[in-house]
Each structure stands twice: as C-alpha cells, then as structure tokens.
Chain A
Amino acid sequence: MSTLAQEFSKGIFKENPTFRLLLGMCPTLAITTTAFFGFGMGVSVLAVLLCSNIVISAVRNLIPDKVRMPAYILIIAAFVSATDMLLNAYVPDLHKALGIFIPLIVVNCIIMGRAEAFARKNNVVRSILDALGMGVGVTISLTLVGIIRELFGAGSIFGFNIMGSAYEPMMLLASPPGAFITLGILLGLCNFAFKRLGIE
C-alpha cells in the first residue's frame, strides 16, 4: 500500500495524466493556445475531478457494478454543469475561449479513468489525494504547453509581453499543428528525462 504522500505525488510525476498516461489529449491539443487557457482548463478539470472522486468513492459500495458507468457519468455531469455555469458567471472570457471543451470534461478520459481505476476501489481520503495530484498534474502540463505555445506563437506569457515588440510570432505554434509538435517534443523530452532518472 503506497503512502498518502505517494498518492498525491504520483499524479504530478510518475503517472502524470498528460505526459505519462496520455489521457485527455483532446483539450490538451485544442485549447492550449495561451498559458491562461491551459491553466483555466487544468483548474476546471481539477475541480471536477476532486468533486467526482469524493462522491464516487463515497458511494462506491452503493452502485451496482453493471450500471456503474452511467452512474459515474451522471455524477460527473452534475459537477461539470456547475463548473460550466460558474465559469460563465465569473470568467466569461475564459468560458468563451474554452467553449465546447468545458461540457466535454464529462467524457474526459482523466476523470472517467480516475473514477474507474481509483475512486471505486479506494476510500475518500485517498481519492481526494489522488484527485488533487492528478488535477495538479494536468494543470501543470496544460499550462506548460500553453506557456510554450504562447511564448513563441504570440511572444507573451499569461498576456505579458516577453519577447519585445520586434519579435515576429511563429504562427505555426498558435495553430493546431503547433499543438501536436509542441506536445510531441515535450513527450519526447519527458521520456528522455524519465529514462535518464531510471523511472519506468
């Protein structure tokens, strides 16, 4: 049995959902044009994941195995709807930019995956730590992709101009192919680093 600290940290490094498990690729590729959008998406996923993991792990013994998927989707959808409305109310710009990808959190592999693989087998405390770790992992990863794409694609980070006014943005990184190239190179670097560190 792993320690509680490991439950938290595994989502950030060893089982980072984006770079190690390759889950939730669709929002990773689609909305990371700027660091802020990546961060916003990551936090949204973190919030939904935390709530759904708590509820699913709390009611894990009450849900019959045969209908667990529909039950999970209902639970997750409830929190996603709440997140959707909250974002619309307090950060309408972000809500507009993330668009369809907020409702799509319902079927996000990370959330379904953690419900299926973790929350239904573990108690509430462990599920909370798991959700926090995974959520922070996603947030860091999406923000990182966003920072790189925004830095080279627009010359700024979180909207602050970094490259100076003479910089001519590399439009490729702001466009969809740039998302694939950035993610691919980051994945390669991650694998390289983990191999060097001897972690598998």
Chain B
Amino acid sequence: MERKLVVSSSPHIKSPETIQSIMVDVLVALFPVALMAVFLFGFRALATMVIAVIVAMATEAIILRNGSFFGDGSAAVTGLLLAMTLPPSPPWWVVAIGSIVAIGIGKHIYGGLGNNIFNPALVGRAVLFVSWGTHVAGSVWTRPVPFGFTADAITQASPLVTYNASLGDLFMGTVSGALGETSALALIIGAIWLFYRGHIDWRIPGGFIGIVFILGLFDGGFSMGLYHVLAGGVLLGAFFMATDMVTSPVTPAGKLIFGLGCGIVTMAIRLFGGMPEGVTFGILLMNGLTPLIDNMTLPKKFGEVKKSA
C-alpha cells in the first residue's frame, strides 16, 4: 500500500531564498549608489570600489579555502559597503587593509558569517578611521564633478563641518562626502529594492532616520532636521548597514529600539562629540547591544502565565 503520510523532520516549508540570493539582491540595491559615486567622483571612485571588493573576496576565499571566489557573495557586499564609507581616492593600501580587517577581524575571527557581533564593513572603517585618520577623514573629501571623470580633485570640508550645503544638493548627492553617502536619491532607490524584496524591515531605518530628524529639529528647525538626515552617512547606515541581518535584533520591538539607539548615538556624536560624523560608531555600539536587546524584547509565549512572586 502506498504511504499517504510522509513523516520527516522539520523544516517543512522551505524558502527559495539563499544567502547568495540575498547578497545578490543587496549588490543590486547598491548598484545605483555605486553608479552615482562613479558619476560624481570619477574613475578614482570605481578603482576604490574594485580594490575593496576584490581584496574582500580574496581574503574570504583564502580563509574559507572552499575554492569558490564569489562564495555566498557576503564578502563582495562587505567590500562594497566598506568602499561606500571611504572618501573617493584614499591610497590603495588603506582600502586593501580595510577589506582584510573587515573580513578577517570583523567576520571570521568570530566564526564567519552569522556569528559576527559587529558589522564587518563598519569594523573595517572604524579601524581605518582610528589608524590612518588623515587618509579617510578630515580634509580628504573631494568636490564632486559630475561627468568630470578625470578632472583634478579639489578637496573641501564635509557638509557636516560647514553646514552650508543646499538640501537639493544633498538630495542629489552633488556635495563632498564618502562614495556612497552623498546621494540620497540613489540610496532611496536602492532601499526601495530591498524593501520590495522583503530583506529589510521598516523599523530599523524608520527608527534611525526618524530620531535623527526629530533630534535635528532641536538643532535648528525643520530644514536642519532634514539636513541631518540627508547629510553624512545616515541614509547609507540606516538602509544598508544597520539592517544587516546578522548584527541587528530579530524581534520587532528590538528592531525599533536598535534603530532609535543608532540615531541617538549618531546625533550625540554629531552635536556634542569631537567628530563631525557618528554613524559608524553609533551602529557599532548598537551592534554590541543587539543580544541584550533581543533578550529584553522576547515576545511572550502563547499561554504564558505570570509567575507568582
């Protein structure tokens, strides 16, 4: 007799989604951002991104020794995200070391993808920022020259130091800044793709951007709130980095707390700290708190009874 009842162990419902498909989606989402970076900052930006991605993938391939260069694609995403946080033309070895640190110390020391506590790309950036601050921050921001692919670079201060860029420029991205952070338009297009594919939840970017806007209101009204959201790395951090599945909380309430925390730390550093920008350290700090937030916001089990004291 044919058996009608199939007995198997869980999981019973399988998703066609794989790590690789998610990572490819993130790469697709980053494409408009990368395109805008090349458009604004020229081929130097492309070189920085290529170095970061190739070194990151090579590091991953050497550590995993699984014979696959692209692998699950997470190294490419980490490398590209790292490049997005760098100025248009840092020395090549700074980019390469950033990628090696991001993959080696940011990810594989903890046991590889899924076990890392901190966002690897941001670990790479933080190490570069602390080690060679003069190459990745300060007066390294070049003035963007649309279509001027080979124009000479002119450096100028970050809009977070001068506070004089127009909101329209900030939205389009024609201001100085890191490769992937200047163009709000491109970031929003990328984020819409991630939302559409269901890879990110509104709570983290919502909480992050919302609190930055609200705290910005106190710094000088509506336009200043908008300025704080559009300038610097808030959008890049909120859409692409804080939402990293590994290093952010899984509970809905936890995600909101995480986003709010990122925004509050970012604004605290911007308004009261010694550095013009605080997105990197805001997200890294909240990454460290993620396990605690998850524990704190565990949903109640169905049918749970309040313990009598």
Task: State the A residues within 8 Å of B (CB).
Answer: 168-173, 175, 177, 181, 184-185, 188
Contacts and interface: CB of A to CB of B under 8 A. Distances in A.
A188 B131 contact: no
B109 interface: yes
A170 B132 contact: yes
B109 A172 contact: no
A96 B105 CA distance: 34
A117 B130 CA distance: 42
Main secondary structure on chain A at its contact with chain B? helix
Contact of A171 (B105, B109, B130): B130
Interface of B: 105, 109, 127, 130-133
A200 to B, nearest CB: 21
Nearest to B132: A168
A171 B133 CA distance: 9
Contacts of A171: 130-133
Contacts of A177: 130
B105 A170 contact: no
18 contacts: A168-B132, A169-B131, A170-B131, A170-B132, A171-B130, A171-B131, A171-B132, A171-B133, A172-B127, A172-B130, A172-B131, A173-B131, A175-B130, A177-B130, A181-B105, A184-B109, A185-B109, A188-B109
A188 B104 CA distance: 13
Interface centre among B109, B130, B131, B132 (most CB of A within 10 A): B131
Contacts of B105: 181
Contacts of A175: 130
Nearest to B94: A168
Main secondary structure on chain B at its contact with chain A? helix
Contacts of B130: 171-172, 175, 177
A171 B130 CA distance: 6
A165 to B, nearest CB: 16
Contacts of A168: 132
A112 B109 CA distance: 33
A166 to B, nearest CB: 11
B216 to A, nearest CB: 30
A26 B109 CA distance: 23
Contacts of A181: 105
A184 B105 CA distance: 11
A181 B130 CA distance: 13
User: Nearest 5 pairs between A and B by C-beta?
Assistant: A172-B131, A170-B131, A172-B130, A171-B131, A172-B127
A168 B130 CA distance: 13
Nearest to B97: A170
A175 B109 CA distance: 20
A175 B105 CA distance: 17
Contacts of B109: 184-185, 188
A169 B135 CA distance: 12
A141 to B, nearest CB: 20
Nearest to B130: A172
Given A171-B132, A185-B109, 10 more contacts: A168-B132, A170-B131, A170-B132, A171-B130, A171-B131, A172-B127, A173-B131, A175-B130, A177-B130, A181-B105
Interface centre among B105, B130, B133 (most CB of A within 10 A): B130
Nearest to B135: A168
